[in-house]
């Protein structure tokens, strides 16, 4: 305190330190909590490494503001410094709290792209954030606003200080170089917070950086790369159309979008887990794709692949922009053949832009949850109701139009986080982990919905002439690799999804597609089942009714930009983390849970796979420029 006494008077010391010390404790405590919550055993050395950037940032921040307080003691400029002191500290506290909550929910670090995306969706952020997080943030902001004034005023009265809290000079007039040195030291320590070194297993550089520093670094990176994309390339399916053939059959088509359902959590893909007995029985008389994947773990992106038969754009929400879908979609193609088309969803129409997206897909009629009677139905998450809310509107529509050919899609929502399984069919105890158990009970509820939906088609006499396509859009993570939910999760729990095609007149003894497949294969499979031929364009997927290429490579991307890329060739999977952490290489045949990283042993092959991934990303970027 002796050195501070040269620079600041007693009230200034109390005023500044009463905010800087709690701010530092607040930041480091949240980071320590995040580090401790990681699934891997870290040890003291790695823990300190992961917190080093935060320590340097907070030390630099404290020195910077102490120096600024020492430079300006009074006058209008002083009040500007005090104002900026509070504002920047409040903003830093918001970033720290947001990063903590985002990591708690997803297992990944908050960066500029994510913030830019969620600033456009404040209502969703509000609904997704638990009350405890708002209480913590409110307390931090209240103290950042009023705490120093209250503390200095209280101590001033106790010790008889001057009544003026913001002005005054230190006990000895300081030489200007004193505060200047502190400011330079603050900037020096701040620059050290940028240096995180190479990523370590289980934790990348983005996590190791202080959240404010990471936000600035990723923001600069975005600014430097903005406008560097090439001109867009016309999609090969832009002029596609379908024509009848001698094989054409008049059949109805039903798409059931199983929101957030991963393959390993449904019984047909995991016999030990009895979450979906009805789906398991249905699968025994269906075509089941054993190795089906989504390209990007995102609801909208998965739906784009299913409905339009194309790989989704890598940039967020491009398809929601005017003219964002570059090829004719299934609803539009079938509508040209005399089909009626309808889209039901148990979620609000604002969920992932589906209100506009259903029209862009070509659906003539659209029924979101706002159009349904929700009395007697429970909420299943922050944006939707239990899926049986769709059964009555479905029945009414089918009674009216069921005599005509139709395509109907049902977008469920019960599987989506924050996992509040309806109590209509009670709950079962599957696992000890509460969040995972709630998710599995949400999956179990969906099985009842599927059974009731099929029964509705049977009761109305439509079942025998209808093709049912049941697909997951992406999976969910529950800490298996330190990541939660799905958006920036490149592992099997997020990418591998159920895909079951049920046609009552076919597959009676059950068939299996054993090769790699993804959601782009649904459109060509449906058209093949109906006997239509595509002319004038080419879709990238393959019909699952025919042999799939044995040398097929599937490519994947995280939802948020430059977080991860991945590819699977045969049973070999490679994950590229953009240098944020070490890349990974897995043999899925021997290691389906991705526990043993072979990247060091397969370095040459990993480099080839990385080059191919980056080339795929470059091609995809040209199409969504």
Q: Is residue 498 within 8 Å of 268, Cβ to Cβ?
A: yes
pLDDT for position 133: 67
Q: What is the mean pLDDT of residues 43-58?
A: 84
> Which of 199, 192, 226, 212 has its CA nearest to residue 110?
212
**Per-residue pLDDT at 163 exceeds 80:** no
Confidence of residue 622 (pLDDT cuts 50, 70, 90): low
pLDDT for position 485: 86
pLDDT for position 120: 64
Residue-wise pLDDT tens digits, 468-505? 999 999 999 999 998 888 888 999 999 999 999 999 99
Which contiguous run of DSSP H or E holds residue 436? helix 434-459
pLDDT for position 16: 79
b/e map 229-267, b = 16+ CB within 10 Å: eeeeeebebeebbbeeeeeeeebbbbbbbbbbbbbbbbb
Q: Is residue 408 within 8 Å of 344, Cβ to Cβ?
A: yes
Cα separation, 573 vs 222, in Å, equals 28
Pick the most confident of 44-53, 179-188, 495-504. Answer: 495-504
Residue-wise pLDDT tens digits, 232-250? 678 899 999 999 999 999 9
pLDDT for position 167: 44
pLDDT for position 152: 67
What secondary structure letter does DSSP report for 132?
A: H
**Per-residue pLDDT at 164 exceeds 50:** no
Q: How many Cα atoms within 13 Å fall on the side-chain side of residue 21?
A: 9
**Per-residue pLDDT at 611 exceeds 90:** yes
pLDDT for position 117: 65
Sequence-ordered list of residues with C-beta below 8 angstroms from that of 587, at least 6 positions apart, any chain: 571, 572, 573, 596, 598
Residue-wise pLDDT tens digits, 322-378? 677 899 999 999 999 999 999 999 998 888 778 788 899 999 999 999 999 999 999
Confidence of residue 122 (pLDDT cuts 50, 70, 90): low
Cα separation, 164 vs 480, in Å, equals 56
Cα separation, 554 vs 319, in Å, equals 21
Cα separation, 243 vs 395, in Å, equals 31
Please measure the distance between the N-terminal and C-terminal CA atoms of the chain and give it in whole angstroms. Answer: 56
> Which of 474, 424, 431 has its CA nearest to residue 445?
424
556: helix, strand or coil:
strand
Confidence of residue 157 (pLDDT cuts 50, 70, 90): low
pLDDT for position 63: 85
Higher pLDDT, 618 or 595: 595
Q: What is the mean pLDDT of residues 114-118?
A: 70
> Which of 80, 90, 112 has its CA nearest to residue 99?
112
> Which of 296, 221, 304, 312 has its CA nearest to residue 559?
296
**Per-residue pLDDT at 173 exceeds 50:** no
Residue-wise pLDDT tens digits, 275-295? 999 999 999 999 999 999 999
Residue-wise pLDDT tens digits, 537-567? 999 999 999 998 888 999 999 988 888 999 9
Q: Is 490 exposed, middle or buried (0-12, 13-18, 19+ CB in 10 A)?
A: buried
- The DSSP annotation for 192-212 comes to HTT---S-BTTB-HHHHS-HH
């Amino acid at each position: 305190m002796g050195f501070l006494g040269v620079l600041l008077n007693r009230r200034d010391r109390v005023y500044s330190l009463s905010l800087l010390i709690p701010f530092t404790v607040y930041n480091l405590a949240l980071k320590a909590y995040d580090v401790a919550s990681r699934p891997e055993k870290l040890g003291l050395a790695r823990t300190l490494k992961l917190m080093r950037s935060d320590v340097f940032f907070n030390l630099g921040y404290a020195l910077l503001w102490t120096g600024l307080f020492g430079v300006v003691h009074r006058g209008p400029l002083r009040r500007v410094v005090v104002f900026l002191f509070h504002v920047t500290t409040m903003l830093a506290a918001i970033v720290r709290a947001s990063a903590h909550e985002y990591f708690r929910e997803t297992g990944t670090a908050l960066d500029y792209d994510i913030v830019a995306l969620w600033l456009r969706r404040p209502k969703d952020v509000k609904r997704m954030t638990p009350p405890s997080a708002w209480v913590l943030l409110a307390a931090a902001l209240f103290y950042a606003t009023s705490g120093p004034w209250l503390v200095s005023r209280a101590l001033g009265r106790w010790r008889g200080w001057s009544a003026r809290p913001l002005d005054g000079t230190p006990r000895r007039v300081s030489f200007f170089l004193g505060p200047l040195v502190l400011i330079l030291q603050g900037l020096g320590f701040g620059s050290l917070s940028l240096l995180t070194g190479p990523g370590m297993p289980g934790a990348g550089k983005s996590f190791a950086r202080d959240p404010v520093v990471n936000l600035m670094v990723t923001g600069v990176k975005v600014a430097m790369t903005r406008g560097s994309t090439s001109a867009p390339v016309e999609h090969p399916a832009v002029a596609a159309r379908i024509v009848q053939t001698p094989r054409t059959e008049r059949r109805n088509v039903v798409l059931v979008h199983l929101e957030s359902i991963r393959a390993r959590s449904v019984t047909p893909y995991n016999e030990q887990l009895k979450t979906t007995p009805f789906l398991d029985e249905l699968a025994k008389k269906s075509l089941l794709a054993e190795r089906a994947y989504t390209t990007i773990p995102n609801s909208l992106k998965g739906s784009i692949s299913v409905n339009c038969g194309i790989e989704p754009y890598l940039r967020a929400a491009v398809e929601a922009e005017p003219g964002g879908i570059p090829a004719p979609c299934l609803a539009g193609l079938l509508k040209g053949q005399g089909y009626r088309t309808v889209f039901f969803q148990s979620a609000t129409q604002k969920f992932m832009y589906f209100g506009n997206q259903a029209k862009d897909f070509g659906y003539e009629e659209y029924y979101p949850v706002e159009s349904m009677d929700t009395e007697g139905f429970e909420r299943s998450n922050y944006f939707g109701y239990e899926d049986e809310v769709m059964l009555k509107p479905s029945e009414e529509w089918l009674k009216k139009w069921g005599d005509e050919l139709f395509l109907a899609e049902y977008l469920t929502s019960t599987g989506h986080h924050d996992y509040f399984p309806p109590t209509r069919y009670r709950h079962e105890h599957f696992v000890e982990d509460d969040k995972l158990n709630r998710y599995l009970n949400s999956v179990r509820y969906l099985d009842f919905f599927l059974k009731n939906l099929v029964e509705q088609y049977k009761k109305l006499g439509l079942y025998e002439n209808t093709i049912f396509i049941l697909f997951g859009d992406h999976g969910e993570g529950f800490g298996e690799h330190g990541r939660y939910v799905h958006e920036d999760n490149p592992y099997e729990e997020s990418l591998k999804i159920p895909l079951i095609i049920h046609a009552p007149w076919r597959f009676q003894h059950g068939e299996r597609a054993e090769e790699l497949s993804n959601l782009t294969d649904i459109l060509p499979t449906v058209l093949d089942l109906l006997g239509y031929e595509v002319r004038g364009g080419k879709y990238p997927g393959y019909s699952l009714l025919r042999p799939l290429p044995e040398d097929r490579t599937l490519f994947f991307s995280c939802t948020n930009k430059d977080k991860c890329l991945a590819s699977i060739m045969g049973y070999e999977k490679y994950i590229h983390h953009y240098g944020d952490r070490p890349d990974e290489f897995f043999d899925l045949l021997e290691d389906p849970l991705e526990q043993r990283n072979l990247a060091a042993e397969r370095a040459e092959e990993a480099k080839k796979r990385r080059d191919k991934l980056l080339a795929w990303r470059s091609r995809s970027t040209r199409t969504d420029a």
